[in-house]
Amino acid sequence: MNTEELVEVVLPGKVEPEELQVRRGAVPDAGPGQVVIRMEATGVSFAEQQMRRGRYYDQPPFPFVPGYDLVGTVVATGAGVPPGLAGTLVAALVKVGGWASHVVVDAADVVAVPEGIGAAEAETVVVNGITAWQMLHREARVRAGQTILVHGANGGVGSVLVQLAQAAGVTVIGTASARHHDTLRERGVVPIDYRAGDVAARVREVAPGGVDAVFDHVGGPGIVDSWRLLAPGGTLVAYGTASTRDDQGSKQWPVVKLLLRVWLWNALPNRRRACFYNIWAGRALSKDRFRARLRADLTQVFAALRRGDVTPQIAARFPLTHVAEAMRMAESGTVAGKVVLTP
């Protein structure tokens, strides 16, 4: 009999972080093909900041347990799952449900964390690492010798993207608040303050012929500059609308507007390409293919972490029940790296 207790954080509606609720209950069982993961690290992603405002484009109805990803140990296996998986440290991308002491997922959705990588370190690169890797290598297909522009270069996704790009021999120009510029310079990134002056003009000073790829999570009117900064043959990878986080009104409209722009740009006769990256794209078409790609890509990111190509950036660690403080910190706009939640 399982004597452990389930502890999970519930988002009851559009609330302030302090109004998140802690719920306790029995640890669920693993059904056929499933495993129970005992969480060792989960984290606050940008998605949860949007979800508590009711502004994530694809969130479930309230109430629900947020938590985009987690790392933990398999403590139970269901029918049809190799029992040897028990005791393994694994990572899983779940979109919701990760803010819990125990999480049930399909065994096919877990990726083993290589030895030598701690749970919190691994957590920093699950959703952030997969996103960064796929945008760089599957969408923009960067090559050594190229130059790219990364918006939010010291953010959760941005910092991993920068390091993976550099490992691939790519030169990086990165926008960030001035307080991150020393860190970026130490990493060999050319920093540009997105809060001051004409960002596009500054990029053109550094790369007069344009850049080979732009990674833009900001959306809004600035996306037009991102498109115009591309060199012939370049790719714009749009992947968010962070600029509309605090807006009112439709949560889908900013994404729809972006998709329309992308469609229009690609329809024009030109030698540049735009895309809207979505980590879940393709899942509905083929779950097996989606899982295979995710497994392959996260494995590559973990390998980069082990080699030291990527340094895990942990902004702070909070126990799961201190989630309000964790959210406040993540939303403060003052942290560098991932705010990690632990049991």
Ligand X SMILES: NC(=O)c1ccc[n+]([C@@H]2O[C@H](COP(=O)([O-])OP(=O)(O)OC[C@H]3O[C@@H](n4cnc5c(N)ncnc54)[C@H](OP(=O)(O)O)[C@@H]3O)[C@@H](O)[C@H]2O)c1
How many other C-beta atoms are found inside a 10 Å radius of the C-beta of residue 86? Answer: 15
Nearer to ligand X, 210 or 337 (CB): 337
Question: Least Å distance between CB 53 and ligand X?
Answer: 12
How far apart are the C-alpha atoms of 288 and 1, rounded to whole Å?
A: 33
Instruction: Please state, in angstroms and rounded to a whole number, the distance separating the CA atoms of residues 73 and 7.
Output: 16
Provide φ and ψ at 26, rounded to 5°.
-90, 145
CA 313 to chain CA centroid, Å, is 13
Q: How far is the CB of 129 from ligand X (least distance, A)?
A: 10
Minimum CB distance to ligand X, residue 61 (Å): 20
Kindly tell me which of 87 and 333 has the beta carbon lying closer to ligand X. Answer: 333
Supply the DSSP symbol for 116.
T
Distance between CA 45 and CA 127 in Å, rounded? 8
* Residue appearing with tokens 């990878």: 237
Binding positions for ligand X, rule: CB under 6 A: 45-47, 127-128, 131, 151-152, 154-158, 175-177, 180, 194, 217-218, 239-240, 242-243, 277-279, 333
Minimum CB distance to ligand X smaller for 86 or for 324: 324
- Please identify, using beta-carbon distances, which residue of 7 and 339 lies nearer to ligand X: 339
* 102-106/338-342 β-pairing: unpaired
Q: Minimum distance between the CB of residue 143 and ligand X, rounded to whole angstroms? A: 23
- Closest separation between CB of residue 191 and ligand X, Å? 9
Nearer to ligand X, 47 or 117 (CB): 47
Q: Are the CB atoms for 327 and 20 separated by under 8 Å?
A: yes
Any bridge partners for residue 172, and if so which?
A: 148
